[in-house]
Structure 1
Amino acid sequence: MARHLIQGREVAMPVRVRDAAVCTASYLVRADAARAVIAYTGLDVAEVLPGRAVCSLAFVDYTDGDLDAYHEFGVVFLVRPPEAGPAPRRGLLAGLSELRRSGAGTFVHWLPVDQGFTLEAGRTIWGFPKELAGIDLRLASPYKRCIVRKDDRMVVDMLIRPGVPVPGAAGRLDAYSHLDGVTRRIPWSFTPRGVRVRPGGALVRLGNHPVARELSELGLPRRALVTATVAHTSMSFGEAKAL
């Protein structure tokens, strides 16, 4: 079993999260703009519609896991695996079918956290672009809210209204990271419970941080394609492999 030494502690692989709450909002954005944002990785965005990619904003409350308790915010893009070949230029149904066959994954573009141990572990083990930020999560009320501040500037203030209950299903995706010039693939599995989904349902206010300007250039704030809240989920992250 692989192990990593982080701040004097051994972290065994795979890294397990026993409980976390997750809130996400996904947006259709221009594929050319999204490609420009992630051009540094060598990856290509997945087009769920011709000329349209998916950018998701997520905030997570990790309450029990191998990397301790912490808060996290993520800007992620749906991407095609490097071996998938040229992107399809067909209609919605054909495009979605092709994405399922090719195994689209999620590229983590920005990943602030509020604790130092998970910061070092995430960067060292997987090459996730974790950095310290102020993350204020308010999950006790029916409306779920996250406020992210970095370098004394507000990045984003995000409010999600939970939708209708849907069955939670275990799944597996490849996550992708990029740090210090290296793009990596990370096997990621999850088992959610207490899932609620709805079209729209998110309110986003952007600040004056460079990441906020980048989101603005993608067309945010706008109506979300879909939002989801997960009351409890377990997760597992395997060893990263450089591409």
Structure 2
Amino acid sequence: MASQLIQGRTVEFPVRVRDAQVCSAVYPVRADAARAVIAYSGLDVAEALPGKAVCVLLFVDYRDGDLDAYHEFGMAFLVRPPGVAGSAGPAEVRRAGVFVHWLPVDQGFTLEAGRTLWGFPKELADIDLRLGSPYKRCVLRKDGRLVLDLLIKPGVPVPGATAMAPMDAYTHRDGVTRRVPWSVRAQGARVRPGGALIRLGNHPIAKELSELGLPKRALFSTTVARAQMSFGEPSPA
């Protein structure tokens, strides 16, 4: 599957994002609670510390890419690669992939493309991104209900352009768990310990987050003024 027809357009692998603004908050959560959330995938969470998993919340303004311009919110967990035995600690985190549990977007083309090409759990939602001020904010509503209101406080600059080590993303759709090769190059990155304020609403995803222990202090938060990404062809995990 080197390419796929989506709404009359041919999309080729790798799918590229040429310009996006990314904000994220990383939270320590109970490993047993995180396992319960992603049990349907057949994957296991990576433990940064014994009994502690890692949940990532992020919001993205995709300004230029093969799937057009759109807004996105993501809820994801660090996971062990399939078939790899676990041992809590930094080594486990370094080799982890990221399992995408929920990925609402606000445009129909990327919704269909994400589901069809990779099995990403994309849904349509109201994603209000407020990125013009120093503080970056996402107000997310789904089906008329508030999911969350997340505020990120930018931290200290990370000098130069930073290329992340390629990482595998994992998805699960229609009973199949897939591995998606993923790479990111970041410019204008900032990192801050803590740095996130979150208010949960009354949506079922907000209930999941509360069962993971949120609201709580984030481990750290990041902002990236300009990110470039590449998403490869998926394979069964």
- For the residues of structure 2 that align with 1:123 and 1:98, how far apart are their CA atoms? 29
Q: Which residue of 2 aligns with 1:169?
A: 162
Q: Which residue of 2 aligns with 1:205?
A: 199
Q: Which residue of 2 aligns with 1:71?
A: 71
Q: 2:104 aligns with which of 109, 112, 134?
A: 112
Q: Identify unmatched segments of 5+ residues in structure 1.
A: 90-94
CA positional deviation for 1:25:
0.2
- For the residues of structure 2 that align with 1:98 and 1:205, how far apart are their CA atoms? 30
Q: Which residue of 2 aligns with 1:194?
A: 188
Tell me, yes or no, if structure 1 residue 28 matches structure 2 residue 41. no
Structure 2 residue matching 1:121: 3-state secondary structure: helix
CA positional deviation for 1:83:
2.6
Structure 1 residue matching 2:213: 3-state secondary structure: coil
CA positional deviation for 1:99:
3.7
- For the residues of structure 1 that align with 2:80 and 2:199, how far apart are their CA atoms? 29
The aligned runs of 1:70-89 (5 Å cut-off) are 70-85=70-85, 87-89=86-88
- For the residues of structure 1 that align with 2:92 and 2:25, how far apart are their CA atoms? 23
CA gap of 1:98–1:133, structure 2 versus 1, over 3 A, is: closer
Mean Cα deviation higher: 1-10 or 132-141 = 1-10
Q: Which amino acid aligns with 2:110?
A: T
Q: Which residue of 2 aligns with 1:17?
A: 17
Q: 1:141 aligns with which of 124, 133, 138?
A: 133
- For the residues of structure 1 that align with 2:9 and 2:109, how far apart are their CA atoms? 10
Q: Which residue of 1 aligns with 2:145?
A: 153
Structure 1 vs Structure 2 CA RMSD = 1.0
Q: Which residue of 1 aligns with 2:54?
A: 54
CA positional deviation for 1:98:
4.0
- For the residues of structure 1 that align with 2:72 and 2:10, how far apart are their CA atoms? 22
Structure 1 runs of 4+ with >6 Å offset = none
- For the residues of structure 1 that align with 2:8 and 2:90, how far apart are their CA atoms? 45
Q: Which residue of 1 aligns with 2:174?
A: 180
Structure 1 residue matching 2:207: 3-state secondary structure: helix
Per-residue Cα deviation, 1:51-87 (whole angstroms, up to 9, x for no partner): 00000100000000000000000000001100312x2
Structure 1 residue matching 2:162: 3-state secondary structure: coil
- Fraction of identical pairs, as percent: 72
CA contact (8 A) 2:47 2:92 kept: no
